[in-house]
């Protein structure tokens, strides 16, 4: 299999590659459980983390993945940089590339920024979240977490709950889940669902307009963070009303009288889209998601930075 | 001896453990004098530095200690993080822990934050300063500096000078010094001394209301940084008056006609609590404090991250 | 040859040392082209990057150079530091030094800050740009780029174009070029040229008051970034007028009907001092400058941190 050196989104990643990444990630998950959770695989490779948006967990997760592969890492945040002097993204990146970087991990507020980069530079480009477009490593860690839990993704019923319209996590998950044969639903107020939703994602995606219907159908609810600033834009009337129609708590889940698991990409607005109790309950896979995040990112970096496939083949 | 994997404060650290940390720190001080001041002791361990407050020296000191023990380090500051998105400390830390961290070094503006963390996570927690509560590694480096200078801490007369009320450095020093058998005094305006001082720290702590009395009694004056914002709160009338009653300069020290050493945790307000001349004089141990800071932090991290005690036993 | 452990500016760096740095940089450029572009030369050395001014490329370039020499690095930026608490540069640096640092790389808004530091500390000090004074590693990478292109610097005709008055890049370049035997010109509006220019840099520096005269004479145009805030100070009337008299584009260069190369220290104001087309054209050495930046900084750090001269002697 020929693997692209970039990971720009799951929309354009073949199913076989997703399968290989997940398999490789399982291998690295085992590495992470060793007393010294480190391999020399990317020694001498240099990875730059270019974060134009705030991030805690994604940046730290990538940085840990890089260090556990023994890569050299350089961090760059838009604060305190030439971007403040008005340097263009293109010049920033061309300059960084001229310093002989192997891979750039980029988070950017503009959808498509990683794709532009991939056209401009020789280095591999990993999308760590671009605007409202894609966040492919988040979706991959979600897939890994579900495969761990259910054994397979085929025919698994997963509903994404919340602000589908503005969510790169939702977009990447829908693409990834459909490729892997899962059944996908979304549950959102009409104002937080893209108008051309069926055109973009296919007629086979189920649309639920309240959380109880979604609960009846789903085996998995992946609850998105509600961007509170949307409320100010009038896209939903109040937190209270949102929580009443789309918020999840233990009572609601237990009323469904069925097995279901809850996921959330974080950071959680506790008490808004998810009750604190439920987030920390036996229904929740949230901590597994975070743990798997490092393993998935190790797999992506390993496969994209030119690691051979032996580990992946031998590892599961 | 069973050693806690946390260092939350000196109030709850046994004397034997303090002695072991100081002994181990002497060993690492020797390591630091080698041409390659580095040991592979914590290779494969991952330490996260979580700084919710500004810091230069403490963060750099910890980071150097970690790198010289060959640990992998990840830095996190509250600026540019999900904390800006309103994520709670608890979620931040649970997520970081889910990434398989060995130890978290935390500085936080809220007293008790490291204790909360230690309850929430499996990782070891090192307090790098919490609100007005404790700053144990600062006190340990002060103890080490005094042991280096005087040979022993038993019966040594040490006065903490300045804003006792708001100082975590003072709290940790008083606990540590008393445990090690030193005689402790404080010298502060009444408004900068806690009301329940004797109850909290014991009847045996001497209280001096002017610096000349303190000088007559003490072998060591550990001068605290005056937080200039206290003045605005009306806790003392003016810098000039404060300097007149509690400020130290060479003339004052020489008028006492006795041997005395001066310490300061930094950063110094030169000309306020300490004259510039005295800070850089032969009376000052300030530079030794900083040097010992790296060795003490190496010792703490080594002992808390599961290093065995062989080095400590063989090292002094 | 005895080499200073500091690099404060090119004004006081002997020609032989510049030659040695350039020769050593050629060796490291070869290292950078290897599959694993890394050498263990500075293993166990600790370098602190002290950046009091915003910077993308210079900081990343130094950090990469340090990591490829296997040094341990600690980053410090004025944001989020004790400098915000009012700690003086002197105290900051003395404290950092007390932690046993080998070398400090400093960028500071005040001209002369690195010189002060070099007097205060035992560590080596590398100037990464100080106010409007010097930026020696930028000039060294410019020299390296020109030596690569033309084989020798002797008698090469180089014009610095733009805001000479406020440019540390111009100052360092003029000193370096003259030492290496190049012929130097400057091209700037009278308001952006120091009054005592001839006194400071010598009667032999050519002064051009328009870009077409400069183009007729030069083999190399090194175009400086126009600080747009100068316009607000009334030092030039408008961007349009500046671009008309001093801006470079392809038409202007081709009208000169001669071989010429274009350099720029970045970040470029595309369409102001340099057209976008020309910056990315076959005339441009800008990307080579960035690539050589890492090699030059490796050479400087290697030679200044006590590396022996064997690599340098064997390397070209």
Q: Which tens digit of pLDDT belongs to each residue from A193-245?
A: 988 888 889 999 999 999 999 999 999 999 999 887 766 677 777 888 888 88
pLDDT at A315: 39
H-helix or E-strand spanning residue C48: strand C46-51
d(CA C227, CA C232): 10
For chain A, how far is it from start to end, CA to CA, in angstroms? 18
The answer to whether A2 faces chain B, any CB pair under 8 Å, is no
Looking at this predicted complex, what is its ipTM? Answer: 0.83
Query: Residue C105's pLDDT is what?
Result: 96
Helix (H, G, I), strand (E, B) or coil at C134: strand
> In this complex, do C266 and A82 lie within 8 Å of one another by their Cβ atoms?
yes
CATH of domain C136-289: 3.40.50.1370
| Cα separation values, B155 from B17, B183, B265, B284, C28, Å | 19, 5, 22, 21, 58
In angstroms, the separation between the Cα of residue C299 and the nearest Cα of chain B is 20
C54–A86: do the CB atoms touch at under 8 Å?
Answer: no
Interface contact flag, B74 A67, Cβ < 8 Å: yes
Mean pLDDT over each residue of chain B, to the nearest integer: 90
DSSP A270: B
Residue B98 structure tokens: 């889910």
Q: How many whole angstroms separate alpha carbon A91 and alpha carbon A77?
A: 15
Counts for chain B of helices (H) and strands (E), in that order:
14, 9
Q: Which two tokens stand for residue B210?
A: 């002017």
| Lowest-confidence region among A39-43, A225-229, B146-150 | A225-229
Contacts of C98 in chain B (CB under 8 A): 287-288, 290-291
Question: How far is residue B104's CA from residue B4's CA, in Å, rounded to a whole number?
Answer: 14
Q: Is the pLDDT of residue B234 over 60?
A: yes
- Residues 56-85 of chain C with CB under 8 A from chain B are 72, 74, 76, 79-85
Does position A308 have pLDDT exceeding 80, yes or no?
no
| Cα Rg of chain B, angstroms | 19
With CA atoms as reference, the chain B residue closest to A279 would be: B91
Chains that touch B (3 or more CB pairs under 8 A): A, C
Contact status, residue A198 vs residue A282, Cβ threshold 8 Å: no
Kindly determine whether residue C81 and residue B54, on different chains, have CB atoms separated by under 8 Å.
yes
Q: In chain B, positions 118-157, which contact chain A (CB-CB < 8 Å)?
A: none
State how far the Cα of B302 lies from the Cα of B137, in Å rounded to an integer.
Answer: 13
Taking the C-alpha atoms of residue B294 and residue B283, their distance in angstroms, rounded to an integer, is 22
Task: Give the whole-angstrom CA distance, residue A73 versus residue A62.
Answer: 10
Q: A56, B83: Cβ pair inside 8 Å? A: yes
Instruction: Find the mean pLDDT for residues A275-294.
Output: 96
d(CA B297, CA B303): 10
Select from 3.40.50.1220, 3.40.50.1370, 1.10.10.2840, 3.40.50.1000 the CATH code of C15-134+292-308.
Answer: 3.40.50.1370
Residue A248 in contact with residue A274, Cβ under 8 Å? yes
Tokens coding C293: 């930046």
- Report, as an integer, the average pLDDT of C81-101: 73
Measured between CA atoms, the residue of chain B closest to residue A287 is B98
- Identify which of B43, B79, B85 has the shortest CB distance to residue A267: B85
CA-nearest residue to B68 within chain C is C44
Q: How far is A61 from chain B (nearest CA, A)?
A: 7
The CATH number of the structural domain formed by B15-135+290-311 is 3.40.50.1370
State whether residue A208 is helix, strand or coil: strand
Per-residue pLDDT band for C233 (boundaries 50, 70, 90) equals confident
Q: Residue C89: what pLDDT?
A: 80
Residue C86 has pLDDT above 60, yes or no: no
**Distance (Å, whole) CA A158 – CA A185:** 6
Instruction: Answer whether residue B316 shows pLDDT above 50.
Output: no
Chain A contact set for B80 (CB, 8 A) = 51, 54-55, 77, 79
Q: State the architecture of A15-134+290-309 in CATH terms.
A: 3-Layer(aba) Sandwich (3.40)
* C234 lies within 8 A of chain B by CB: no
Could you tell me which residue, B91 or C28, shows the higher pLDDT? Answer: C28
pLDDT of residue B307: 55
Prior bond to B316 cis, omega within 30? Answer: no
Mean pLDDT of chain C: 90
Torsion angle, CA of C130/C134/C136/C138, rounded to 10 degrees? 80
Residue A83 pLDDT: 54
Identify from B89, B100, B103, B122 which residue to disrupt to test chain A contact, counting A C-beta atoms within 10 A and taking the largest count: B100
B58: Cα separation from own chain's centroid:
9
| CA–CA distance, A26 with A313 (Å, rounded to integer) | 11
Q: Residues C107-113: contacts with CB within 8 Å, 24+ apart?
A: C107/C50, C107/C51, C107/C52, C107/C53, C107/C55, C107/C58, C107/C59, C108/C50, C108/C52, C108/C53, C109/C52, C109/C53, C111/C168, C113/C52, C113/C89
Q: If we measure between CA atoms, which residue out of C95, C46, C38 comes closest to residue B68? A: C46
Chain C residues with CB under 8 Å of B56 CB are 76, 81-83, 87, 92, 95-96
Collapse the DSSP code of A257 into the 3-class scheme (helix H, G, I; strand E, B; otherwise coil) and give the result. coil
Q: What is the gyration radius of the CA atoms in chain A, in angstroms? A: 19
CA-wise closest residue to B215 among B247, B264, B256, B163: B256
Instruction: Compute the average pLDDT of residues C146-163.
Output: 97
Of the listed ranges B281-290, C242-251, C288-297, the one predicted with least confidence: C242-251
Whole-angstrom Cα distance, residue C202 to residue C231? Answer: 28
Nearest-5° Cα angle at C25, C23 to C26? 65
Q: In chain C, which residues have their Cβ closer than 8 Å to the Cβ of B287? A: 94, 98
| A78-108 tens-digit pLDDT | 654 555 455 678 788 788 888 888 999 999 9
Domain A136-287 has CATH 3.30.1330.10: no
Q: Please state, for a pLDDT cut of 90, what percent of chain B lies above it.
A: 68
Q: Which of C46, C63, C74 to mutate to test the interface with B (most CBs of B within 10 A)?
A: C74
Which of A10-14, A223-227, B104-108, C53-57 has the lowest average pLDDT?
C53-57
Q: Residue C189: count other Cβ atoms within 10 Å of its Cβ.
A: 19
| Size of chain A, expressed as the number of residues it contains | 316
Buried b (16+ CB within 10 A) or exposed e, C134-150: bbbbbbbbbbbbbbbeb
Take residue A86 and report the two structure tokens written for it. 């008005």
Considering chain A, what is the average pLDDT of its residues? 90
Which A residues in the span 3-42 are in contact with C, Cβ-Cβ below 8 Å?
none
Tokens 């950046």 label which residue? C51
Domain range summary for chain A, segments of one domain joined by +: 15-134+290-309, 136-287
Domains A15-134+290-309 and A136-287 are alike in CATH topology:
yes
Classified as helix, coil or strand, B316 is coil
What is the C-alpha to C-alpha distance for residues B69 and B28, in angstroms, rounded to an integer? 10
Q: What is the pLDDT of residue C315?
A: 39
């Amino acid at each position: 299999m020929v693997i692209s050196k970039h990971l720009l989104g799951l929309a354009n990643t073949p199913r076989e590659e997703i399968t290989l990444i997940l398999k490789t990630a399982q291998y690295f998950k085992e590495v992470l459980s060793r007393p010294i959770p480190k391999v020399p695989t990317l020694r001498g490779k240099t990875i730059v983390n270019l974060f134009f948006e705030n991030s805690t967990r994604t940046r730290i997760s990538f940085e840990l993945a890089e260090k556990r592969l023994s890569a050299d890492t350089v961090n760059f945040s838009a604060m305190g940089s030439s971007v403040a002097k008005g340097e263009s993204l293109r010049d920033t990146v061309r300059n960084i590339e001229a310093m002989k970087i192997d891979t750039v991990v980029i988070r950017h507020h503009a959808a498509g920024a990683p794709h532009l980069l991939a056209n401009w530079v020789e280095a591999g480009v990993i999308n760590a979240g671009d605007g409202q477009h894609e966040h492919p490593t988040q979706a991959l860690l979600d897939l890994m977490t579900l495969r761990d839990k259910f054994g397979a993704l085929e025919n698994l019923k997963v509903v994404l709950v919340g602000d589908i319209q503005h969510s790169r996590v939702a977009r990447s998950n829908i693409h990834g889940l459909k490729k892997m044969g899962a059944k996908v639903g979304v549950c959102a107020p009409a104002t937080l669902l893209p108008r051309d939703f069926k055109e973009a994602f296919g007629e086979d995606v189920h649309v639920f307009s309240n959380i109880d219907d979604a609960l009846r159908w789903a085996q998995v609810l992946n609850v998105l963070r509600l961007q509170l600033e949307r409320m100010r834009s009038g896209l939903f009337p109040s937190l209270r009303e949102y929580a009443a129609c789309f918020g999840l708590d233990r009572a609601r889940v237990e009323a469904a009288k069925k097995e279901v698991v809850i996921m959330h990409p974080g950071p959680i607005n506790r008490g808004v889209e998810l009750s604190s109790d439920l987030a920390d309950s036996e229904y929740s896979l949230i901590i597994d998601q975070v743990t798997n995040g490092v393993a998935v990112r190790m797999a992506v970096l390993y496969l994209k930075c030119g690691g051979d496939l032996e580990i992946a083949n031998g590892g599961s």
